[in-house]
């Protein structure tokens, strides 16, 4: 079978490259950078992915120089582009202006990788270094305002470099660029690979991995764990697969009853339900650190797994753990050779990693993305309400309940004021930080809150301007509506996880779910709509942040642009909740911010 090799430099989008190629019906294999040149001769083309390191770092990924003289077409993306330039005699330097987000690029010299495309292109950037001088034999193909060399090529040797990320959906014609490389340059003709055709091989892999053992699942009711559970049932039989649904107290309003109903309709009577809400909430009531919250939740799940194991194992030690982990969970937890940790996923806490090393975990979906899991679910015949179910984090509302150990002041920074004054806006920076991803690294930075009337069509560019120019900020939120007479007097107050705050969050989330259902015709096709409670306000009042995003796989996302009229209508309903004084609208893309705040 003809194939494309994708060498993983630890970039957050590496597997997204492979997925985009597989969408073309071409098999893509992901390999480490240190793979032997001989093995790569079996490939029709090689792609060097982006990564978190600088090409000048002593431990940064390197490839054999032989690769560039092998006759195999090579495409370097971001870090791969810079590495190619440096290894072949070009010059790479820190960028004058780091770019994280959408950029406008002009194609100066067209060739096969840009075949059929117009001169002006919208592309997605995520880099701190840039190619300043191309190697001998290369020519500059395109540039942008902030980057002289957004692409380069040595046509004679079929070597190509792209500073931007063609694999993400926000590079408008990125799929065409990858198609040009794979089909036109690498001359790959076979187009038969489809994710849904993997079900038979997945079932066989589960049988091989289980090796006579039974599988125990902690199921959430989401599409990932449900599909993984059903695949294991198909592979091993219902008697050899057991599930437990844990009510942590962090589920949405009425979600537990709805989930149990879905299980019963699917005939999954091998799933038990246990209520552990007091256990989870009581343990987290004095914890403020997001990473520690995730680790505590992950440990509780492991403890519950061990307790349930003890009930079913007795002298039989043939049970292993099954999980619905998908690939973004593993790479954002820093589990690839070179990748940086973006956040600790509850399926990747230390206890789970030890079980993985001991071959005691089965994860059928660990190489799939969310949209591919949906394809599998459709092929398995799951109902539409499960196939299209909105992604929901394993720790639930616990990571949407932002905490603070003390009261803290907001900050009016000159650099933010200078940017906002151009747009007739005011704003401040909060002392609370949220997680983001910039240049393939986790960033943990402040939130900028902005307000005053502005055309909503300008929010995207304003947000990009703030995050690209203020290094301490990775997220921007716009005040839709507030009861506070003077936003400058707002404070971060002391707040922890408790039943009252969770109750407010559940009610706000319920209002939003009804709002989305009632306004489907007037809203974009929202992929996920997190609701966050944020301890920002006067006299202990809270803010509710709305985080609607557009995405296909969760690796990148664009905030969903909702009309001001609709946002103000739903904000008015939320402000009727006692203790809520402000409604925020998160206007940040991923990158630089992640979808979740924690």
DSSP string, 534-571: E-EESTT-EEEEE--EE-SSSSSBEE----HHHHHHHH
Shortest CA distance to 70 belongs to which of 47, 46, 91, 86? 46
CATH 3.40.50.880 location in the chain: 3-185
Tens of each residue's pLDDT in the chain, 598 residues: 689 999 999 876 787 898 889 888 898 888 888 888 889 999 999 999 998 888 988 889 999 999 999 999 999 999 999 999 999 999 999 876 666 778 899 999 877 899 999 999 999 887 778 999 999 999 999 999 889 999 999 999 999 999 999 998 779 999 999 999 999 999 997 677 777 888 999 999 999 999 999 999 989 999 999 999 999 999 999 999 999 999 999 999 999 999 999 999 999 999 999 999 999 999 998 899 988 998 899 889 888 888 887 787 655 568 889 999 886 665 545 445 555 554 555 566 677 778 888 888 999 998 787 888 999 999 999 999 999 888 888 889 999 999 999 999 999 999 999 999 999 999 999 999 999 986 566 789 999 999 999 999 999 999 999 998 999 999 999 999 999 999 999 999 999 999 999 999 999 999 999 999 999 999 999 999 999 999 999 999 999 999 999 987 777 789 999 999 999 999 999 999 999 999 999 999 988 899 999 9
Q: State residue 330's pLDDT score.
A: 59
DSSP string covering 425-443: -EEEEEEEEEEEEETTEEE
Q: State residue 392's pLDDT score.
A: 86
Local structure of 511: helix, strand or coil: helix
Determine the longest span between alpha carbons in the chain, in angstroms.
71
CA distances from 541 to 150, 252, 285, 290, 483 (A): 47, 22, 19, 21, 10
Chain centroid to Cα 435, Å, comes to 11
Query: What span, in angstroms and rounded, lies between the C-alpha atoms of 211 and 198?
Result: 20
In the beta sheet, which residues pair with residue 144? 105
Q: State residue 477's pLDDT score.
A: 98
Query: What span, in angstroms and rounded, lies between the C-alpha atoms of 50 and 10?
Result: 7
**Domain at 195-390, CATH homologous superfamily:** HUPs (3.40.50.620)
165 is catalytic: yes
| Catalytic member of 15, 81, 127, 165 | 165
Residue identified by tokens 């039943």 is: 499
Shortest CA distance to 397 belongs to which of 302, 533, 275? 533
Query: What span, in angstroms and rounded, lies between the C-alpha atoms of 268 and 414?
Result: 58
Q: State residue 550's pLDDT score.
A: 94
> Domain 408-586: which CATH class?
alpha beta
Q: Is the peptide bond before 592 cis (omega within 30 degrees of 0)?
A: yes
User: Sign of dihedral through CA atoms 484, 486, 488, 489?
Assistant: negative
Per-residue exposure over 168-186, b if at least 16 CB sit within 10 Å of its own CB, e if not: bbbbebbbbbbbbbbbebb
| Catalytic member of 14, 15, 78, 401 | 78
2 is catalytic: no
Cβ neighbors of 119 (< 8 A, separation 6 or more) are: 106, 107
Query: What span, in angstroms and rounded, lies between the C-alpha atoms of 211 and 448?
Result: 52
In the beta sheet, which residues pair with residue 275? 247
CATH 3.40.50.620 location in the chain: 195-390
Q: State residue 94's pLDDT score.
A: 85
- pTM value is 0.77
- State whether CATH 3.40.50.880 applies to domain 3-185: yes
CATH 3.30.300.10 location in the chain: 408-586
| Residue 271 dihedral angles phi and psi, to the nearest 5° | -120, 120
| Catalytic member of 14, 15, 147, 167 | 167
Shortest CA distance to 255 belongs to which of 247, 266, 244, 264? 247
78 is catalytic: yes
Local structure of 298: helix, strand or coil: helix
Q: State residue 101's pLDDT score.
A: 74
């Amino acid at each position: 079978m003809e194939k494309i090799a994708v060498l993983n430099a630890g970039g957050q989008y590496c597997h997204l490259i492979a997925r985009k190629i597989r969408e073309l019906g071409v098999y893509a294999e992901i390999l480490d950078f240190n793979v032997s040149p001989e093995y790569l001769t079996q490939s029709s083309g090689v792609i060097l992915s982006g990564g978190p390191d600088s090409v000048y770092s002593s431990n940064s990924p390197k490839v054999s120089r032989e690769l560039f003289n092998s006759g195999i077409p090579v495409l370097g993306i971001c870090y791969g582009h810079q590495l190619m330039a440096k290894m072949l005699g070009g010059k790479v330097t820190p960028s004058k202006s780091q770019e994280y987000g959408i950029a406008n690029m002009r194609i100066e010299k067209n060739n096969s990788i840009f075949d059929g495309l117009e001169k002006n292109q919208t592309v997605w950037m995520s880099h701190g270094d840039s190619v300043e001088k191309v190697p001998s034999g290369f020519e500059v193909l395109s540039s942008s305002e902030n980057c002289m060399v957004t692409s380069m090529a040595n046509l004679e040797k079929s070597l190509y470099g792209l500073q931007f990320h063609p694999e993400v959906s926000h590079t408008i014609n990125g799929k065409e660029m990858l198609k040009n490389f794979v089909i036109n340059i690498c001359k790959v003709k076979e187009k038969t690979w489809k994710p849904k055709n993997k079900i038979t091989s997945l079932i066989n892999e589960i049988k091989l991995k289980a090796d006579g053992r039974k599988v125990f699942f902690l199921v959430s009711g989401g599409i990932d764990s449900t599909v993984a559970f059903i695949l294991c049932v198909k592979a091993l039989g219902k008697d050899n697969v057991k599930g437990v649904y844990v009510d942590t107290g962090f589920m949405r309003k009425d979600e537990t009853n709805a989930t149990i109903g879905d299980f019963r309709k699917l005939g999954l009577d091998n799933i038990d339900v246990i209520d552990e809400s007091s256990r989870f909430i009581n343990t987290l009531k004095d914890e403020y650190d997001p990473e520690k919250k995730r680790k505590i939740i992950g440990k509780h799940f492991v403890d519950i797994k061990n307790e349930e194991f003890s009930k079913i194992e007795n002298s039989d030690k043939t049970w292993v753990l099954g999980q619905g982990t998908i690939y973004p969970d593993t790479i954002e937890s820093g589990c690839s050779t070179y990748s940086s940790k973006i956040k600790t996923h509850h399926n990747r806490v230390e206890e789970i990693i030890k079980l993985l090393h001991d071959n005691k975990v089965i994860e059928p979906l660990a190489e799939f993305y969310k949209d591919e899991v949906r394809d599998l679910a459709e092929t398995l015949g799951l109902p539409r309400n499960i196939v299209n179910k909105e992604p929901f984090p394993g720790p639930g509302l616990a990571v949407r309940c932002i905490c603070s150990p003390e009261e803290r002041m907001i900050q009016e920074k000159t650099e933010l004021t200078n940017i906002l004054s151009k747009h007739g806006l005011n704003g401040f920076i909060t002392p609370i930080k949220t997680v983001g991803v910039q240049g393939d690294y986790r960033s943990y930075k402040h939130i900028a809150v902005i307000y005053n009337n502005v055309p909503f069509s300008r929010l995207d560019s304003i947000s990009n301007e703030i995050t690209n120019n203020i290094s301490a900020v990775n997220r921007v939120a716009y005040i839709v509506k507030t009861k506070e007479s003077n936003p400058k007097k707002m404070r971060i107050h002391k707040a922890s996880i408790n039943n009252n705050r969770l109750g407010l969050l559940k009610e706000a989330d319920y209002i939003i779910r009804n709002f989305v259902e009632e306004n489907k015709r007037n809203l974009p096709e929202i992929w996920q709509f997190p609701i966050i409670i944020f301890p920002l306000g006067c006299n202990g009042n809270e803010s509710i942040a709305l985080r609607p995003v557009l995405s296909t796989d969760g690796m990148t996302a664009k905030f969903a642009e909702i009309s001001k009229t609709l946002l103000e209508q739903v904000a008015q309903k939320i402000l009727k909740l006692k203790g809520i004084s402000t409604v925020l609208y998160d206007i940040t893309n991923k990158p630089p911010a992640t979808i979740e705040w924690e």
